[in-house]
Amino acid sequence: RCRFPRLLIDGPYGAPAQDYRKYDVLLLIGLGIGATPLISIVKDVLNNVHRQDGDEGFMTKRVYFYWCTREEGSFEWFRGVMNEVAERDAAGEESVVELHNHCTSVYEEGDARSAMVVMLQALHHAKSGVDVVSGTRVRTHFARPCWRDVFKRVACDHQGQRVGVFYCGDQKLTPELRRLSQDFSHRTTTKFVFHKENF
């Protein structure tokens, strides 16, 4: 009787993950559970960037990952990946992945109602190096990011490059992200290519 080897396959899968390797820069945006397929991309990038032999078809040099969730407990799902990214940064390795956690159930930063939470969070992070909300070294921001500012920053930092924008989440945000991708592609030398998966 012939025995076949056991194979284990680890993502990334699905529409948001298609062809991400052909972009110089990735802008990954996940809402809630929509972060799941995007975390697979983050893990794959970390594995490929730090390999010695290098993959000729792998072009990605920088990743911006934005995760918005209402529940702070959700940050536990990917604590291991977030800590791995933070540890590589702390060890002085070249920063490839930049993580941005956003807890949308708290008033935005600058609002008087959230001032105490922000102050306590900053104090705890300064003392222990751990974010009080996510339980990782990645600092959590409050409310949704200003997407126009995010695109502007990426366009300014990566002039003349191709940015793959991969979104997974509620369809309500799709039109805004698609429009921003088009606007910044026409107004700057950075080319944004939008991909999405809605649920």
- Asked, for residue 11, whether it belongs to a domain, the answer is no
- Asked, for residue 1, whether it belongs to a domain, the answer is no
Domain span at residue 175?
21-46+59-196
* Cβ 60 vs Cβ 95: under 8 Å: no
pTM of the model: 0.80
Q: What CATH code is carried by the domain that includes residue 135?
A: 3.40.50.80
User: How far, in Å, CA of 185 to CA of 139, rounded?
Assistant: 30
Q: Which structure tokens are listed for 3?
A: 């025995």
∠ CA 153-46-101 to the nearest 5 degrees?
50
Give the three-class secondary structure for 160.
coil
pLDDT-based confidence at residue 104 (cuts at 50, 70, 90): confident
What are 110-139's pLDDT values in tens digits?
666 566 666 666 776 677 677 666 666 666
CB burial of 105-139 (b: ≥16 within 10 Å; e: otherwise) equals ebebeeeeebeebbeebeeebeeeebbbbbbbbbb
Number of domains in the chain: 1
- Asked, for residue 13, whether it belongs to a domain, the answer is no
Residue 114's pLDDT is 61
